[in-house]
Amino acid sequence: VKVSKAMAAQHREALLTAACRLFREKGFDKVGIAEIAAAAGLTHGAFYTHFSSKEALCIEAITAMVRRTVEGLKTAPALDVYFDAYLSPLHVLARGEGCPFAALGGDAVRQSEAIRTSFSRGVEQLIDAFTQAAGSDDEPDSPARRARAINSLALLIGGLTLARSAASEGLRDEILSALRAGVLDSS
């Protein structure tokens, strides 16, 4: 059942989009090719006409998620709004659409070297983007500013991880509140 080139390109995008969501929801290892293909409305066999292997998909998915995250940072209205949205119950629940670094940071370290490398490149891009977003426009990028950006990122990622580990809403909201208050102090 051949399909028009436009349709095929759409299928490829659908596979990639589904992978980005499912990987963040369940981790790289707990998502199968068949599941991703089904989410894109295809069967598992079709997957291999678009990607050479699961590893290749992982790498493309990481690149895509990082790109979107970095773009989101660049177009963010104000950093305190970004912080509040990041440290919100909504973000805690919406793993599949949320920060790829919080969702997959622990996972990526244990994958193949190619995946770790592409994830690491993502971290570099994230730090760069955050350093730019966190400074005033006239001030030049300084090591101190970069260090502050790294601290903020660590707080956000660690905070979201902690909040997601909380089984009760009470604990979750206490963690989120403490972090939102804490972020204000350090900025």
Question: Both tokens of residue 93?
Answer: 């629940």
- Does 186 bind DNA (CB under 7 A)? Our answer is no
Stretch near DNA under the rule CB under 7 A, chosen from 46-54, 68-76, 150-158, 165-173: 46-54
Site string for DNA, 5-34 (x = CB under 7 A): xxxx--x-------------------xxxx
Q: Alpha helices, DSSP H only, in 28-168?
A: 33-39, 44-47, 54-74, 79-86, 89-93, 100-108, 113-134, 143-165
Tell the smallest beta-carbon distance from residue 103 to DNA (Å). Answer: 17
Q: Cα dist. 125→5, 149, 161, 169, 182 in Å?
A: 33, 12, 21, 33, 25
Instruction: For 130-143, give one letter per residue: b (16+ CB within 10 A) or e.
Output: bbbbbbeeeeeeee
First to last CA, the chain: 57
CB closer to a copy of itself, 60 vs 100: 100
Tell the smallest beta-carbon distance from residue 183 to a copy of itself (Å). Answer: 8
Tell the smallest beta-carbon distance from residue 51 to DNA (Å). Answer: 8
- Does 174 bind a copy of itself (CB under 8 A)? Our answer is yes
* Cα separation, 157 vs 105, whole angstroms: 9
Tell the smallest beta-carbon distance from residue 45 to DNA (Å). Answer: 2
Residues at the contact surface with a copy of itself, assessed by CB under 8 A = 25-27, 29-30, 95, 101-110, 116-117, 119-121, 123-124, 146-148, 150-151, 153-159, 161-162, 164-168, 171, 174-175, 177-179, 181-182, 185-186
